[in-house]
Amino acid sequence: MRDTPQTFLLDGVPVPFHEGQTILEAARAAGRYIPHLCWHPDFPPHGSCKLCIVKVGGRHVSSCAMPARAGAEVESDTPEMNGERRALLQMLFVEGNHFCPSCEKSGHCQLQALAYDLEMMTPRFNHFYPDRPVDASHPDVLLDFNRCIYCELCVRASRDKDGKSIFALTNRGIHKHLVVNAESGRLGDTDFSGDDLAANICPVGVILRKRVGFAVPIGSRTYDATPIRVVAMQSEDGEGA
Amino acid sequence: MPDPQTASLVDEILARGERRPERLLQMLVQLQEALGYLPADVLTVLAKGLGLPRARVEGVAGFYSFLHLAPVGRYRVLFPDNIIDRMLGTPGLMDRMCRNLWLEPGHVSEDGVASVDTTSCIGMGDQGPSMLVNGHTLTGIDDARIDAICDRIRAGEPVGAWPAEWFRVEDNIRRADLLLDARLAPGEALAAAIALGREGWLEQMHRSNLRGRGGAGFTTAVKWLACRDAAGADKVVVCNADEGEPGTFKDRVLLTRLADAVFEGMTLAAWAVGAQQGFLYLRGEYRYLVEALESTLEARRSAGLLGHCIHGCQGFDFDIEIRLGAGAYVCGEETALLESLEGKRGTPRIRPPFPVTHGYLGRPTVVNNVETLAKTCLIARDGGEWFASHGTAQSTGTKLLSVSGDVARPGVYEYPFGVPVERVLRDAGAEDTLAVQVGGAAGIMLAGYEFGRHIAFEDVPTAGAFMVFDARRDPFEVARNFVHFFAHESCGFCTPCRVGTGLLKGYMDKLADGNGAYRDLADIEWLDRLLKNASHCGLGSSAPNPVIDVLQKFRPAIERRLRSADFQPAFDLDKALERARQMTGRDDAEAHLSNSPEHS
Ligand SMILES: Cc1cc2nc3c(=O)[nH]c(=O)nc-3n(C[C@H](O)[C@H](O)[C@H](O)COP(=O)(O)O)c2cc1C
Ligand code: SF4
Ligand code: SF4
Ligand code: FES
């Protein structure tokens, strides 16, 4: 794509963009961080988590999906937007069962890291305490559905990169959940492999490799040392985990 | 592996659908009808036959509330649960049926014969109490009818053999205007539009200033023009007959009385944009209309109004296929509808791109409401300016209203846009009216001081619902019912709506139980804001509307439910011990905590 001299304003500072870039992509290319969970640089935007919401001309939009427009005034790192993002994180926390102190992903988890970064102090809302069984049927990988945030990165990675379609979502609303590609419903009965991209893309602690638990001690993990707003901008894949 | 008989049924259904993945939902609907539920091994065979991952088939089957992955009994009974149905007495009727059949709501009877549950509005708010049995609509239910139905269920008589008058749906047209009075002959409007040429026809549409009747009020001519000008020759016209907005049933009446005009409107759209393929996406609740609609289509084909060289016009080819939904309100949202048409989960898409450029299977697509399309026939026959001379400057023509609730004459009323709310109330025989919910659950609740307002896009816009509540009713309960509806119908794609509607439901229930506190109102208002601002589609962003209206206009209805405390825990200690009490078979005073709200 050819460079064009177009810019928009992100929190008052000009950000250049090419035609076709989204607000989040352009911001990132200019070294500006906008929080995100379901967005990943190697995939088209998904638009489900809504952590990337920004205000453009008074309207809320998902910056990961919204094409940048010349002259637009985008508000992102403001108390108002961060307050709404914090509430969305609180929703994700109360919807599942997140017991961070006993979670193998603690310190590598993007949900937890964002909660720290956005200073989420309490869950505020009532917990749903859903009943979500764990699937330990696969020799190399454990599925702990209690922590799923439905970003569908595993779905997309398995379908679009691994060519396997191991994962899909079923049911709807608050009852929505992941299923695997087997009549038995067990991961062990699929052709899933620990080397699949889908096995290594979950931003939270659902898809976990067996036998490497706690190899890196809690306290020396990715986000223990560096906040997600820094890690996300350093790493090539936008994850850091 | 399914037994040979089931396997050959799957084969037959696969063949009928030409093994096309976009027909997946239709195949699931047919299998559900034939088998009563969708067994795991059937999904495996179906997935293989379509060349789809099994997980995707399971994902689709699990999305729609009329499809079942576990047995639900040979008789599947559903009572609609909209506030209007509740006012008509469905909870009592449902209760009677459950006692009669010895079963619990939401569970299959022990003998596997029947199950009874609730469903969202089925578009029968003007028919007295109504219900669905195995997808068949029954109206005018009372205690005696419930008993008679239970007898037949116990006798194992197929629903098809029950008395025909049990299934009669009246049109209840109470006021006819431009459209309902039009007496359109099939082909009349089409002949006029063909005579005008594609350009001339679009010009008439522009002059009419017709705006969409499905809710958003987008100018139809602008939509058609964008689709016509979009890249790609294989354009599509979709008629949105999902009519899921609670309290709306005017499209049902149009599809019953004016099916020809609806199909002709689709053909007029095809003429304007150059489409060859059309779909009528019909909500599963209106399954009973399919046979009549199919025969109307057949008659139109025979008359040369569909198919090749329509009306003898070389190069004008267009045909229409009916596709059924399966119980999902969100599929009325046009991009979720397109996903569903493609045989997928009804999840709204990211926009842009819009359907006019990237719609069904990525092709340029016009999606219009049933009423919008029917009205284009008037414009073709009588001219754009004539049409625009009715209604108001910004809202031309007429609007069909589905009037239900506390009125003497529920039914469909057609008025020129601009009609005052109080006029509708008077005509329908409403007395002592406390509130009117215009536009369905997603619409607006009007209080008495607003009854002078006008039905029009510039004042009180509506997709057609007009639910009336008199002074006996409690606006808080109306709002709570709608919040339950949204939580049930949320597709679950985005965080604010998936979680937020559930949380909002929890707060409304807490208030209903008498455990609310002022702190809860602050949380409710905060949730309202998040839903409005951050939701991915109109379902989530309109879900808080009823709550916001009640908070603003009927605040005492909420405040009287608050306990004086600033904070009341949502967690009820005594209730939490219920399981333990059940397990130990105790219910004595010692087994209760005295500090819980119910006992203090
Ligand atoms: C949650 C939701 C449900 C909807 N349901 C319907 C519906 O049942 N029927 C309908 O015509 N439009 C419905 N709409 C509006 C459609 O998205 C779309 O705007 C409409 O079909 C366009 O047709 P029109 O321009 O003729 O109104 C719904 C929108 C939302 C957000
Ligand atoms: S398992 Fe992980 S990657 Fe997959 S949807 Fe859930 S959170 Fe996303
Ligand atoms: S707002 Fe609700 S219905 Fe719409 S996409 Fe989000 S979860 Fe689905
Ligand atoms: S990052 Fe944009 S919606 Fe999730």
What residues of chain A lie within 8 A of the CB of B492, using their CB? 150, 171-176
**ipTM, two decimals:** 0.96
Predicted local confidence at residue B564, as pLDDT: 66
Contact call for B502 and A179, based on CB within 8 A: no
Q: Is the pLDDT of residue B600 over 60?
A: no
Predicted local confidence at residue A122, as pLDDT: 92
pLDDT digits (tens, 9 = 90+) for A201-217: 999 999 999 998 888 88
Give the residue-averaged pLDDT of B473-490: 98
pLDDT digits (tens, 9 = 90+) for A52-76: 999 999 999 999 999 999 999 999 9
The reported pTM is: 0.95
Q: Is the pLDDT of residue B599 over 50?
A: no
Domain with CATH 3.10.20.740 in chain A: 6-77
CA distance A145 to A133: 7
Domain with CATH 3.30.70.20 in chain A: 83-227
CA distance B475 to B547: 9
Would you call A216 an interface residue with chain B, using a CB distance cutoff of 8 Å?
no
Q: Residue A236: which pLDDT band, with cuts at 50, 70 and 90?
A: low
Return the SS3 of B137: strand
Kindly report the average pLDDT of chain B as a whole number.
95
CB of B536 within 6 A of ligand 3: the answer is yes
Q: Is the pLDDT of residue A160 over 80?
A: yes
Return the SS3 of B276: strand
Q: Is the pLDDT of residue B167 over 50?
A: yes
Residue B116 sits at φ, ψ, to 5 deg, of -130, 130
Give the residue-averaged pLDDT of B424-443: 98
Q: Are B23 and B17 in contact (CB under 8 A)?
A: yes
pLDDT digits (tens, 9 = 90+) for B111-154: 999 999 999 999 999 999 999 999 999 999 999 999 999 999 99
Site to substitute for ligand 1 among B120, B240, B245, B368, most atoms within 8 A of C-beta: B240
What residues of chain B lie within 8 A of the CB of A179, using their CB? 55, 58-59, 62
pLDDT digits (tens, 9 = 90+) for B344-372: 999 999 999 999 999 999 999 999 999 99
Predicted local confidence at residue A219, as pLDDT: 87
**B353: cis peptide before it, omega within 30°?**
yes
Which residue shows structure tokens 């195949």? B27
The candidate with the shortest Cα–Cα distance to B479, out of B520, B443, B514, B516, is B443
Using the mean position of ligand 3's atoms as its centre, give its distance from the Cα of residue A158 in Å. Answer: 24
Q: Is the pLDDT of residue B325 over 80?
A: yes
Q: Is the pLDDT of residue B292 over 90?
A: yes
Q: Residue A2: which pLDDT band, with cuts at 50, 70 and 90?
A: low
Q: Is B39 left (phi over 0), alpha (psi -120 to 50) or beta?
A: beta
**A41: cis peptide before it, omega within 30°?**
no
> In the sheet where B365-369 sits, what is the strand order?
B319-324, B275-282, B235-241, B365-369
Predicted local confidence at residue A22, as pLDDT: 98
Predicted local confidence at residue B589, as pLDDT: 81
pLDDT digits (tens, 9 = 90+) for B130-141: 999 999 999 999
- Cα-based torsion angle of the residue sequence A161, A162, A164, A168 in order, rounded to the nearest 10 degrees: -60
CB of B244 within 6 A of ligand 3: the answer is no
Out of A67, A125, A173, whose CB is closest to B488? A173
For atom 8 of ligand 3, the residue with the nearest CA is B491
For atom 30 of ligand 1, the residue with the nearest CA is B333
Return the SS3 of B120: coil
- Min Cα–Cα distance to chain B from A216, Å: 31
- Which structural domains are found in chain B, ordered by start? 4-63 (no CATH), 75-169 (3.40.30.10), 174-388 (3.40.50.11540), 398-473 (3.10.20.600), 476-564 (1.20.1440.230), 574-600 (no CATH)
Contact call for A173 and B526, based on CB within 8 A: no
Q: Percent of chain B having pLDDT more than 70?
A: 98
Predicted local confidence at residue B578, as pLDDT: 81
For atom 6 of ligand 1, the residue with the nearest CA is B332
Sign of CA dihedral B358, B363, B369, B375: positive
Identify residues of B whose CB sits under 8 angstroms from chain A CBs: 40-41, 43-44, 53-56, 58-59, 61-63, 328, 345, 350, 352, 487-496, 498-503, 506, 523, 526, 529-530, 533-536, 570-571
CB of A142 within 6 A of ligand 4: the answer is no
In the structure, which protein residues have their CB atom closer than 6 angstroms to any atom of ligand 1? B 212-216, 218, 240, 242-245, 330, 332-334, 367-369, 372, 537-539
Contact call for B328 and A172, based on CB within 8 A: yes
Which residue shows structure tokens 């708010």? B125
H or E element: which one contains B294? Answer: helix B290-302
- Which site among A37, A56, A81, A91 would you substitute to test the B interface, given the most B Cβ atoms closer than 10 Å to its Cβ? A91
Contact call for A174 and B492, based on CB within 8 A: yes
Q: Residue B499: which pLDDT band, with cuts at 50, 70 and 90?
A: very high
Q: Percent of chain B having pLDDT more than 90?
A: 91
Kindly report the average pLDDT of chain A as a whole number.
94
Would you call A129 an interface residue with chain B, using a CB distance cutoff of 8 Å?
no
Q: Is the pLDDT of residue A241 over 60?
A: no
- Min Cα–Cα distance to chain B from A21, Å: 13
What residues of chain A lie within 8 A of the CB of B63, using their CB? 170-172
Q: Is the pLDDT of residue B597 over 60?
A: no
Give the residue-averaged pLDDT of A130-150: 97
Tell me the one-letter amino acid at B466: F
pLDDT digits (tens, 9 = 90+) for B45-88: 999 999 999 999 999 999 999 999 999 999 999 999 999 999 99
Contact call for B501 and A173, based on CB within 8 A: yes
Q: Is the pLDDT of residue B165 over 90?
A: yes
Predicted local confidence at residue A128, as pLDDT: 96
Residues 6+ apart with CB under 8 A from B277: B234, B235, B236, B237, B318, B319, B321
> In the sheet where B75-80 sits, what is the strand order?
B114-119, B75-80, B131-133, B136-138
Using the mean position of ligand 1's atoms as its centre, give its distance from the Cα of residue A230 in Å. Answer: 42
- Which site among A66, A165, A169, A187 would you substitute to test the B interface, given the most B Cβ atoms closer than 10 Å to its Cβ? A169
Q: Is the pLDDT of residue B395 over 60?
A: yes
Q: Of the bound ligands, which one is closest to the alpha carbon of residue B330?
A: 1
* Domain A6-77 grouped into CATH 3.10.20.740: yes
Using the mean position of ligand 1's atoms as its centre, give its distance from the Cα of residue B395 in Å. Answer: 17
* Domain A83-227 grouped into CATH 3.30.70.20: yes
Q: Is the pLDDT of residue A4 over 60?
A: no
